[in-house]
Structure 1
Amino acid sequence: MEGKSPSSSSSASAGVVAKAEKLMREVMSGNDASHDAWHVLRVRDLALSIAREEGLSGDLDSMEIVELAALLHDIGDYKYLRDQSEEKIVENFLEQEGVEESKKIKILSIIKTMGFKSEIQGIMIDDLIPEFGVVQDADRLDAIGAIGIARCFTFGGSREVVLHNPDIPPRANLSKEQYMKKEEQTTLNHFHEKLLKLKDLMKTKAGRRRAEKRHKFMVDYLEQFHAEWNGES
């Protein structure tokens, strides 16, 4: 599997980026296709593209933060933790590679607070840095649209979650704990509890622009899904 990295070759830290990608591939090799290395590579490419559109390409340090945060963002994801030591993999890697302290702090802050569960809880970085919005928007764009639909059903299937049950309504005003537990839920409800909300949570102009088309695709898909489910189509 070959990824592409528009900024790595010109960065003084190309070696660290290459090692980060290698680490990511190794750690995530056992994940299902909803959160595998291909997902991360798409997020990395989206993040670099958004960063350029947002005017960050002139700052190599900023682009390095974006790329490393994107490559490492799903390592230690609570949904795939095999043991607690995995929560420290990214921090240990950045320290071992001698990543500058200010960059390391930004990368870790982005990764630790970019998840939907953090936004539910109201956790945000003080004085939001532009790199945060870029990486978060890239990750959220990969969660919606055609690929987002495929990922949603792939994850649900991997956890043997019920596809749809009209008797189980989507949960409103979710707490972080409720979101993480996913008790008595269906895959289709995930669209209403999270995915359809992401368009309005984008932080960058580039992210909001791209999210419009992907969001509409999901809305149209759900309309067709329900029509078929109810025997109307």
Structure 2
Amino acid sequence: MTSEQKGLDIQITEDFVKQELARLGPDASHDWWHVYRVRNLAKSLARQEGLTGKSVHLVEVAALLHDVQDWKYSHSENASRASVQAFLEAQGVSREQKDQILNIIAGVGFKDELGSKGKGETSPELACVQDADRLDAVGAIGIARCFTYGGYFKRVLHDPAVAPRSGLTKQQYTDKSVQQTTINHFHEKLLKLKDMMKTGAGRRMAEHRHDVMEQFLDEFHREWDAEA
């Protein structure tokens, strides 16, 4: 039986992802447990959206591989595709399956939608993986990840004199020479994600998680201003 017929082995894929994460050394905001949560969320969304069989398997594999050699830590836009492509070819997957996985991974990122007027139709599988990744960036876990990431990159917690940027382009968002605050990251990205969900199930889950972040920010600013 070929890899295409039986699907890419999940355990082999997990082992590869863990190995890549160990080499890259990301902080806890983008570690194995982030990948684990995204995989589980993506599978749940896929089933709620009516996906079955090979589509659910494709969603699971792409979710597992979505952060391999993440550009924020590898400092390379091409490292992720190169690493995942080499892995898939070594596993003997068909060209069709390889292209499907690579296309999902390439389309997941928030940065790639900045300034976009619409990039055409989103496949159901991409929608599930993308929404799952974004759901893990919002709510209580999103808050925890945001401060973990900010601490790792030595971002200032909050500075009232530094206003959040609006209308960010991909180039501005990825420019690490501009040091933004952790609180501003909520306004520049996280609070926007609710309205960027592609699946009905993702939108329903995002509503609650969005409210959690808004309540947190309200309390944060009240305490910052000595009002609470």
Flag whether TM exceeds 0.5 (same fold): yes
Q: Name 1:55's counterpart in structure 2.
A: 50
Alignment gaps of 5+ in structure 2: none
Q: CA deviation at 1:18?
A: 1.2
Q: Is the 8 A contact 1:47 1:70 kept in 2?
A: yes
Q: Name 2:111's counterpart in structure 1.
A: 117
Instruction: Map 1:10-159 onto structure 2 (within 5 A).
Output: 13=6, 16-29=9-22, 30-57=25-52, 60-81=53-74, 86-87=79-80, 88-122=82-116, 126-159=120-153
Alignment gaps of 5+ in structure 1: 1-10
Cα separation, partners in 2 of 1:84 and 1:47, compared to 1, 3 Å: closer
Give me the CA root mean square deviation.
Answer: 1.9
Cα separation, partners in 2 of 1:53 and 1:85, compared to 1, 3 Å: closer
| Correspondence 1:206 to 2:201 | yes
Quick one: which amino acid aligns to residue 186 of structure 1? T
Q: Name 1:185's counterpart in structure 2.
A: 180
Q: 2-side partners of 1:121 and 1:108: how far apart?
A: 22
| TM-score w.r.t. length of structure 2 | 0.91
Please, which moves more after superposition, 118-127 or 176-185? Answer: 118-127
Q: 2-side partners of 1:85 and 1:221: how far apart?
A: 36
Q: Is the 8 A contact 2:43 2:59 kept in 1?
A: yes
Q: Is the 8 A contact 1:47 1:137 kept in 2?
A: yes
Q: CA deviation at 1:125?
A: 5.4
Q: CA deviation at 1:84?
A: 7.7
Q: 1-side partners of 2:121 and 2:79: how far apart?
A: 28
| TM-score w.r.t. length of structure 1 | 0.90
Q: Is the 8 A contact 1:145 1:218 kept in 2?
A: yes
Equivalent position to 2:221, from 184, 209, 226: 226
3-state SS, counterpart of residue 9 of structure 2: helix
Q: CA deviation at 1:85?
A: 7.5
3-state SS, counterpart of residue 159 of structure 2: coil
Q: Is the 8 A contact 1:113 1:124 kept in 2?
A: no
Quick one: which amino acid aligns to residue 211 of structure 1? A
Q: CA deviation at 1:128?
A: 1.8
Q: Is the 8 A contact 1:163 1:188 kept in 2?
A: yes
Spell out, residue by residue over 1:135-191, the C-alpha distance to the aligned partner (whole angstroms, 9 max, x if none). 000000000000000000000000100000000000010011110114131000000
Q: 2-side partners of 1:82 and 1:191: how far apart?
A: 23
Q: 2-side partners of 1:86 and 1:175: how far apart?
A: 22
3-state SS, counterpart of residue 156 of structure 2: coil
Q: 2-side partners of 1:191 and 1:181: how far apart?
A: 17
Please, which moves more after superposition, 76-85 or 110-119? Answer: 76-85
Spell out, residue by residue over 1:57-92, the C-alpha distance to the aligned partner (whole angstroms, 9 max, x if none). 2xx211121011100000121111067884311011
Q: Is the 8 A contact 2:114 2:170 kept in 1?
A: yes
**Equivalenced residues, count:** 221
Quick one: which amino acid aligns to residue 162 of structure 1? V
Please, which moves more after superposition, 180-189 or 75-84? Answer: 75-84
